[in-house]
A and B are shown apart, each in its own frame.
Chain A
Amino acid sequence: GDSVTQMEGPVTLSEEAFLTINCTYTATGYPSLFWYVQYPGEGLQLLLKATKADDKGSNKGFEATYRKETTSFHLEKGSVQVSDSAVYFCALSLIYNQGGKLIFGQGTELSVKP
């Protein structure tokens, strides 16, 4: 079945370090791909998205490229800040699958130290 696998956390970085969170997916069809972020005690916020192969989603310095050949959508940021500390979820959606539900990875907790 359709699924998302992302690297396990927690990930701990120093401020201004480079961030990569790996995400790979399995899907029958052509999914849309998303990264969501969850700050402590809050709901999920859409961080970025991509809808087709080679699309690059970007927002707030974060980027991810839809790689169909490797079925991946890795999240990157060149210089993290303390305020980026949160849990990051990779997700896919297939419009014909249960009303376009989101299928999530298990989440990766990021902690950025000053």
Chain B
Amino acid sequence: NAGVTQTPKFQVLKTGQSMTLQCAQDMNHNSMYWYRQDPGMGLRLIYYSASEGTTDKGEVPNGYNVSRLNKREFSLRLESAAPSQTSVYFCASRANWGSGEQYFGPGTRLTVT
């Protein structure tokens, strides 16, 4: 049981390049999330998916797109990277029962130059 996995761990992009961050969970959770973490700002929600086939915007969706490929996988795409997107990106999934706790992946550290 790997929990939530993310690839890659590190990435450097030039302004204007595109890339996709991959996330997968093996806990059979319905809901999945993408957050970004910036110094002194905690984590902020980019997009979420309440179930397979649905996605919705969070607080900071501009410049990003997502795909819920199946129940396990939820990817985040940057179409044209900008320096403001330099951040650490975390994927999470939420238990289908209980108090709503979320389980996080190890993160992707992205630098855009």
| A residues at B contact (CB < 8 Å) | 4, 32, 34, 36, 42-46, 49-51, 89, 93, 95, 98-102, 104-107
Could you list 23 A-B pairs, sorted by A, with CB under 8 Å? A32-B100, A36-B104, A44-B43, A44-B90, A44-B104, A45-B104, A46-B101, A46-B102, A46-B103, A49-B99, A98-B45, A98-B58, A99-B33, A99-B56, A100-B94, A101-B33, A101-B45, A101-B48, A102-B43, A102-B92, A102-B102, A104-B42, A106-B40
Contact B101 A49 (CB under 8 A): yes
The 7 closest A-B pairs by CB, nearest first: A104-B42, A43-B104, A93-B100, A51-B99, A44-B104, A32-B99, A99-B48
Report the minimal beta-carbon distance from A65 to chain B, rounded to whole angstroms: 15
- In the docked arrangement, what's the CA distance between A45 and B107, Å? 12
CB B9 to nearest CB in A, in angstroms, measures: 9
Check A43/B42 contact, CB under 8 A, given A32-B99, A49-B101, A98-B48.
Answer: no
- Could you tell me the distance in whole angstroms from the C-beta of A113 to the nearest C-beta in chain B? 23
Q: Classify the secondary structure of A's interface with B.
A: strand
Q: Say yes or no for B75: interface residue by CB 8 A criterion.
A: no
Checking B42, B100, B105 against A106 with a beta-carbon cut-off of 8 angstroms, the contacting residue is B42
Interfacial chain B residues near A34, Cβ < 8 Å = 101
CA distance A76 to B64 in the complex (A): 38
Contacts of A4 on B, CB cut-off 8 Å?
Answer: 42
